[in-house]
Amino acid sequence: MHKMFRGAAALATAATAVIAMSGTATAKPAADWAGCPSGAVCIYPQGQDPAQSPSNVYWSYGAHDLSNQVGWHWVLNNQTGGASAELCLNYGGTNCNYTIGAQHGVWADLTPVNSIKLNRP
């Protein structure tokens, strides 16, 4: 058990290092990813490594207004089938300036972001 935990910790550390260097992340489809369920888009607490629990989980297509999301956060798009997510400067999913492809994540400053929009494939 101890060796399995060390191996998992080493894998998580290596994955985090790769994500940190590239600025984006990719996950396997149809599986939970860093606590983000398959089919969802997740926002993690400010400054938190995505291997922890998300603070916001979005399941439905369309716009979702954000509240109290300032500073740098991981946003993971764990939707399947090619569905994208967008970070939008205005409420209601308008004035979107960044698209996150399916099975990708981004380390983003959410201070100017007021909504996130989940798009059908």
pLDDT tens by residue, 30-64: 689 999 999 999 999 998 888 789 999 999 999 99
Instruction: Considering only CA atoms, give the Rg of the chain.
Output: 14
| Separation CA 41–CA 57 (nearest Å) | 6
Q: What is the pLDDT of residue 52?
A: 81
Poorest-confidence range of 6-15, 63-72, 109-118? 6-15
pTM (predicted TM-score): 0.75
| Separation CA 113–CA 6 (nearest Å) | 37
Report the percentage of the chain scoring pLDDT > 70. Answer: 75
**Domains of the chain, each with CATH number or no CATH:** 25-119 (2.60.20.30)
